């Protein structure tokens, strides 16, 4: 079955730097990968989706890449701010294409 | 209106109680989901409703009983729960069933924090 791995549990960076989070999948190449933000005690909020035929997607200070050779997606936040501190979840479809499965998430802390 | 509303936000119950979690969306979405999330873990899928019919049950114990009275409402009935069932229960919806329909984006509610004593 498909597995989503976000190997870094925590990432600490300084304000203004670029945060780079990694998501790897282990099995078949999914049709897309999604990224969500989750604040403590709250539900995840959708940020970006990138399809397998797209190399890169941008939205304001966010950028996502999809490398099917490396079986990896990178999620970048440029000019990071303390307000960007949260847990970021990578997600993709299960093998049946019936639901989303999530990685464990990476908790980003941006210090001023 | 792009919201999924969950009630109650917090629930404390004993192991012999019967309670329900409620979820509502008015975005015309045709798929609704229950996820369970423990601390520092990712959301885990429990149930999927497609066009108001249960399409996926991820081998969830029968002490959790989902119900979809109409296309806007989703309930999770709780009975004889165990302390290890304490978690954040998240409801979500998507435009279409299946992850390839529309963008596959899930809209989550804020969750119901359940504590079983």
Q: Is the pLDDT confidence value at A2 over 90?
A: no
Predicted confidence band at A102 (pLDDT cuts at 50, 70, 90)? very high
H or E element at residue B107: strand B107-108
> Residue B33's pLDDT is what?
95
CA distance B37 to chain A (A): 10
Per-residue pLDDT tens listing for chain B (117 residues): 569 999 999 999 999 999 999 999 999 999 999 999 999 899 999 999 999 999 989 899 999 999 999 999 999 999 999 999 999 999 999 988 765 545 578 999 999 999 999
Q: Which of A91, A92, A98 sits opposite B98 (nearest CB)?
A: A98
Q: What is the pLDDT of residue B99?
A: 58
**Which three-class secondary structure string do you get for chain A?**
CCCEECCCCEEEEECCCCEEEEEEECCCCCCEEEEEEECCCCCCEEEEEEECCCCEEEECCEEEEEECCCCEEEEEECCCCHHHCEEEEEEEECCCCCCEEECCCEEEEEEC
Output the pLDDT for position A31.
84
Q: Cβ of B109 and A43 within 8 Å?
A: yes
Residues of chain B found within 8 Å of residue A92, distances taken between Cβ atoms: 99
| Of A2, A25, A27, A35, nearest in space to A106 by CA | A35
pLDDT at A112: 92
**Residues of A in Cβ contact (< 8 Å) with B98:** 97-98
Name the band, by pLDDT with cuts 50, 70 and 90, for residue A29: confident
Structure tokens at A64: 């996502």
CA B117, CA B72: separation in Å to the nearest integer?
31
Amino acid A110: pLDDT: 97
Q: Region A99-111: what's the mean pLDDT?
A: 93
User: Can you read off the two tokens belonging to residue B82?
Assistant: 């165990």
């Amino acid at each position: 079955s498909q597995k989503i791995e976000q190997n870094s549990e925590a990432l600490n960076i300084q304000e203004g730097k670029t945060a780079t989070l990694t998501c790897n999948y282990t099995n078949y190449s999914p049709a897309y990968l999604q990224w969500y933000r989750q604040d403590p005690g709250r539900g995840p909020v959708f940020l970006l989706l990138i399809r397998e035929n797209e190399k890169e997607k941008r939205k304001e200070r966010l950028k996502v890449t999809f490398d099917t050779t490396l079986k990896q997606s990178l999620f970048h936040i440029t000019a990071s701010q303390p307000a960007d501190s949260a847990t970021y979840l990578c997600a993709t479809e299960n093998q049946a294409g019936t639901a989303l499965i999530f990685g464990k998430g990476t908790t980003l802390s941006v210090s001023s | 209106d792009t919201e999924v509303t969950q009630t109650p936000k917090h629930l404390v119950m004993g192991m012999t109680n019967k309670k329900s979690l409620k979820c509502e969306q008015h975005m015309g979405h045709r798929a609704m989901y229950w996820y369970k999330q423990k601390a520092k873990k990712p959301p885990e899928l429990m149930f999927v409703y497609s066009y108001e019919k249960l399409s996926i049950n991820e081998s969830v114990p029968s002490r959790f009983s989902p119900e979809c009275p109409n296309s806007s409402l989703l309930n999770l009935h709780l009975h004889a729960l165990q302390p290890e069932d304490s978690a954040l229960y998240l409801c979500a919806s998507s435009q279409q069933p299946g992850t390839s329909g529309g963008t596959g984006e899930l809209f989550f509610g804020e969750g119901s924090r359940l504590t079983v004593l």
